[in-house]
Amino acid sequence: MRIGLRILLGTFAIVALAALLLLRVFTQEVKPGVRQAMEDTLADTAGVLAELATDDFLAGRIDDGAFAARLRALPDRPVDADIWGFRKSGIAYRVYITDAAGIVVFDSGGEDLGRDYSRWNDVHLTLRGRYGARSTRSDPDDDATSVMHVAAPIRDGNRIVGVLTVAKPNRTIAPFIARSEATILRWGAVLVGVALAIGLLSTWWLSRQLHALRRYADAVTAGERARMPRTAGEFADLGRALETMRERLEGRQYVERYVHSLTHELKAPLSAIRGAAELLETPLPDAERRRFAASVRAQGERMTQAIDKLLALAAVEHRRRIDQPERVALPGLVDAALESVRDDPRGVPVRLEIDPACRSAHVDGDPFLLRQMLANLVDNACDFSAAGEAIEVAVAPGPGSVRITVADRGPGVPDYALSRVFERFYSLPRPRGGSRSSGIGLAFVAEVAALHGGRAALDNRAGGGAIATIELPLASPPAS
């Protein structure tokens, strides 16, 4: 399982569990909280009514006195109230009074007059000087039918002589509870959604940083020219540590590889020079002495060229990017690259063809390296070109790029060598008995093309010969 998916699932599990616990606590507290508020109001109401009923109760006219008349007229009292968005059109109180024995002596609903309520908690506890209240369902299986009863004592001096109970159905507060629960659930869902969105964004960011570093590490492992990704925080520190480690490891391996390659490349000319020097120490005819001296000079030139090209290739391979790219006009770049072969003693003619669409084309990069790249291609084509055949250099547009081709009519490239021509120190015998080259020129071409975001290719040409292709991305148009 990918780390991003693990983080996302972990975040989802934590948020979901926290939201579930939070919503459960809130929803479980809403209903008791509202009922507690209603009970507090009923306790105040019962106390006030008990005080108002005391005179009629002590006078023995509690069922037909002024207090009873007022309470019985209460249902006919018009009520038109808007309470937090809910319309109230009537009074839902029921009031009953019991004597010291718990017998109902007044009932505003006229239902239970004369019944024994002495066992109900509201009456039983209040008669004993304690706080009396109860909540009873008219239908034992339906919580919506519960009615809250809160009692207050009627006193004659310090003696409790009766109990007044105020009852109110819990269904009157059900809309407030339902609305509160719905609000909590709605905002809880919003909270969960926001938390999950933040978790998703965090997971995406973490995964993006990790994937960028992994791609960078894979590219370095594959030997590609990779740039360190743009990361932040601890990931930036990790990226810099990887970059430092890569540079140190590559530097050590690079030196070892180049020392080995240079040693291998210089063995042949050094052996030739040593052999010629030994012969020159013996008496030789003048013609032979001149021939061996020329061989020493030629091998010395070969070593010098190999070292120069190797240094140039090392400078390109070591670079990961062009720090200060310049906007280079392509036609002028090609002309400058061909200058070095126009007066070449090999006398190979060069034909240049630039597509009209490319006459104003530009590329971004290092002009010196680009000229050296094209000069190496043309020089290589001159070495392999057939006698009297011209080298054809063409510049044509590509999809978002420009394509430069250098074609010759030489022997072409053997099939077994096509996949290796850009390898360092790999070379083929020159036609007409020429010696092998250092095998660095085409490797230099491929490295420069890659450094500029392009690519190099070499293939056989229809009708004989070889054709080298360089594709480079076109420069962005200048800002207005």
Predicted confidence (pLDDT) per residue in 180-236, tens digit: 777 777 877 787 788 778 777 877 777 777 777 777 777 766 666 566 677 666 667
Q: Is residue 102 part of a domain?
A: yes
Residue numbers of the domain that contains 274: 225-320
Q: Is residue 451 part of a domain?
A: yes
Phi, psi of 40 (to 5 degrees): -65, -40
Q: Is residue 295 part of a domain?
A: yes
Q: Is residue 203 part of a domain?
A: no
Whether 43 and 165 share a structural domain: yes
Q: Is residue 217 part of a domain?
A: no
Q: Is residue 297 part of a domain?
A: yes
Q: How many helices (H) and strands (E) does the chain have?
A: 9, 14
Q: Alpha-carbon distance 358 to 368, whole Å?
A: 20
Query: SS3 of 367, please?
Result: helix
- Top-ranked range on mean pLDDT: pick from 262-276, 324-338, 430-444, 461-475: 461-475
Whether 76 and 102 share a structural domain: yes
Q: Alpha-carbon distance 360 to 453, whole Å?
A: 20
Please tell me the predicted confidence (pLDDT) of residue 254.
47
Q: What is the CATH number of the domain that holds 441?
A: 3.30.565.10
- Largest Cα separation within the chain, whole Å, is 162
Whether 65 and 161 share a structural domain: yes
Whether 401 and 339 share a structural domain: yes
Whether 257 and 238 share a structural domain: yes
Number of domains in the chain: 3
Confidence of residue 422 (pLDDT cuts 50, 70, 90): confident
pTM of the model: 0.44
Please tell me the predicted confidence (pLDDT) of residue 53.
92
Whether 269 and 326 share a structural domain: no
